[in-house]
Structure 1
């Protein structure tokens, strides 16, 4: 039976890949650093991904079925053990609360995670939560558990995806959880980012990391985002959204200038959408200071051009994997060794920079996707490179983005 299940999963994936237009599969995409876009000052980790934080694993299942289903699920596991029995401190920051993030009230109250984190589409959050609860209850040493708090975030992919079909299955959730791995993380139009849109272009999953110098602790910060929000895109300060003539409120701006002929954007584009930011670190940080780290995610989003619009659900969740702050489920006393407030500033800087780069990666790695009667284009990287060069944008290393792209 197990072999049949695995074979069926492989066949589903093969069918999904065959359903993707060849033009989409063939598009050459590049991460931000391939374009010379390297926000901040600290170096990334080996994978430049959330999985650079030791023990953190990511699993993704992409649902690309027929002409209408374009969604999926992304799982983030905080460590290799049982997340319920060995809990990590965690905190949530709500930048704008127009969204559904199952389980965050208990995270805010207790300051800890007791399950992995799932990301999916809006109308599938409860199905994902139910499937993960069942999966967790089946884990070893969970027979006496009578309460569990699944944590599931979402963004609305109802443009490219027939979201009312609620296509996420328990099997897909299990595959994402059981398939979670360390190493490179697939980005762009995959997993929970399969049907998302950001700044009018195809959004998706993006990730990045930073490693602090040894003199600052040598800690690693890793970020993963599910981008589905809007605004006026800028890349390292360059006005990419305006130059590409695709940004929030552009019709209203054109009319204000008396130039209705330039009102080419969607009439109802107010920058709405949502974004979920997950921040992991191996620094020994308690839930209070993790809340401070999570709040810095909004600064990274602001750098990209977000204004956290009324219709946007902007959430950040941060957790620490450090053994010295881990919490046993049945502990009666907690003895922790954690960083003092004065040691937080470098972690704040790393978090802001990694959030910014993760968003760029979600855009630059996304491919053009058609579904549910719509097509959303991938952002044209040749145009982005040209805009960056024309505005004299340089990364922290002084690289010319245009030259960096040409060199490859």
Structure 2
């Protein structure tokens, strides 16, 4: 489940902030990630219309041993053309208790059922109560036969069983297998940042499933690599839609992005929601303007304060009050910066890790060319346009 493939930094891209050991969400102690990757069928064969390029990603906030221990959590939706199940209970209670799973748009039900079955198998004491799993989705119907039922409940269980810490793979794995991003092959990406506040050291990690943006939007450290790329971009043409019998062109930027933010810093649920609200700033650094046709939904959680936020269980256990430690609001800005920086890098990591992929009906998604990235960062960036003299004079006069 690990990889030695190049990551964004290996191509010379500079990023702000200091990353953790793995530069991944798994740098947050206890967080585990697992994949079930489904890639089957011959795109050139007679059954090419049912080719599978999809999968499931599982994130265990406290690892297998911490299932059922609540985490403070909050959510934010930048654009609601998507789904993240369980949001209403997280926003109501401020707590996340079960694993998180990511998959394709039409597999939410199967994965939801699969998480239920896995919890029932591994923690029947929890399943005897009620379960509201968190399942997020993005659309992989360009490469994957999304209506063929390629994802089944057992794939969710396999992803959960495979979850581990340490280095994790990126790109075309798990739920990101069939995803595209900025007109290139996209998928799964991750990054982390180290934060020091008040003499204490914490980690902020992010994981995203990138399936958003149009080709001409992509910017990496200010360079318009999408607009200048020589890589073919068949997904943003009408040809494949016409072959599929469609009448309308998919709008540029269509797709979705689900982002999960984790930290070991003690935070209130409202502070977790505030971290989730900073995710779009990191995405914007890569160029997106958040298309109306994109579902952009984000979840943040804290693994601190284990044993708190027990909901109704506190009453059953005879506990009258609960106590949470939390970072003072006046010291939270470094965590906001960490989210923005890590989201930006995770997005580029997903693009760099992806590879050219042929999917259903021969549809092709081309990866971001590494040589174009290396070339762009071997030279200094284009200087910003200077302010005209007349404008400087006007500013001087107003001063």
Same fold? TM cut 0.5: yes
Pick from 4, 17, 30 the counterpart of residue 6 of structure 2. Answer: 30
Contact 2:60 2:67 in 1 (8 A): no
Pick from 184, 187, 207 the counterpart of residue 170 of structure 2. Answer: 187
Distance 1:293 1:370 in 2: 36
Contact 2:211 2:255 in 1 (8 A): yes
Distance 2:350 2:308 in 1: 31
Alpha-carbon offset, residue 134 of structure 1: 1.7
Between stretches 105-114 and 381-390, larger displacement belongs to 381-390
- Taking a change above 3 Å as real, the CA distance of residues 195 and 141 of structure 1, as seen in their structure-2 partners, is closer
Contact 2:120 2:127 in 1 (8 A): no
**What is the match of residue 22 of structure 2?**
47
Pick from 162, 175, 181 the counterpart of residue 158 of structure 2. Answer: 175
- Secondary structure of 2:342 counterpart: helix
- Secondary structure of 2:208 counterpart: strand
Question: Would you say 1:104 and 2:87 are equivalent positions?
Answer: yes
Question: Would you say 1:197 and 2:186 are equivalent positions?
Answer: no
Question: Would you say 1:273 and 2:255 are equivalent positions?
Answer: yes
Pick from 224, 227, 241 the counterpart of residue 239 of structure 1. Answer: 224
Using structure 1 for the length normalisation, give the TM-score: 0.81
**What is the match of residue 403 of structure 1?**
none
Distance 2:66 2:131 in 1: 11
Alpha-carbon offset, residue 178 of structure 1: 1.2
Pick from 29, 52, 56 the counterpart of residue 31 of structure 2. Answer: 56
Distance 2:229 2:99 in 1: 38
- 1:355-376 deviations in whole A, cap 9, x for unaligned? 0000000000001110102011
- Taking a change above 3 Å as real, the CA distance of residues 141 and 90 of structure 1, as seen in their structure-2 partners, is same
Contact 2:12 2:378 in 1 (8 A): no
Alpha-carbon offset, residue 181 of structure 1: 0.2
- 1:134-183 deviations in whole A, cap 9, x for unaligned? 21123335167331111000000000000001211222111110110000
**What is the match of residue 65 of structure 1?**
40
Q: How many residues align?
A: 354
C-alpha RMSD of the superposition: 2.6
Distance 1:45 1:191 in 2: 23
- Secondary structure of 1:164 counterpart: coil
- Secondary structure of 2:201 counterpart: coil
Distance 1:336 1:29 in 2: 41
Using structure 2 for the length normalisation, give the TM-score: 0.83
**What is the match of residue 381 of structure 1?**
370
Gaps of 5+ in 1: 1-12, 14-24, 252-265, 395-408
Contact 2:189 2:208 in 1 (8 A): yes
Map 1:6-17 → 2, pairs under 5 A:
none
Pick from 268, 272, 297 the counterpart of residue 290 of structure 1. Answer: 272
Map 1:328-367 → 2, pairs under 5 A:
328=310, 330-332=313-315, 333-367=321-355
**What is the match of residue 164 of structure 1?**
147
- Taking a change above 3 Å as real, the CA distance of residues 32 and 215 of structure 1, as seen in their structure-2 partners, is farther
- Taking a change above 3 Å as real, the CA distance of residues 372 and 81 of structure 1, as seen in their structure-2 partners, is closer
- Secondary structure of 2:36 counterpart: strand
Distance 2:14 2:198 in 1: 22
- Taking a change above 3 Å as real, the CA distance of residues 144 and 39 of structure 1, as seen in their structure-2 partners, is closer
Alpha-carbon offset, residue 318 of structure 1: 0.3
- Taking a change above 3 Å as real, the CA distance of residues 300 and 219 of structure 1, as seen in their structure-2 partners, is same
Gaps of 5+ in 2: 43-50, 238-247, 316-320, 384-399
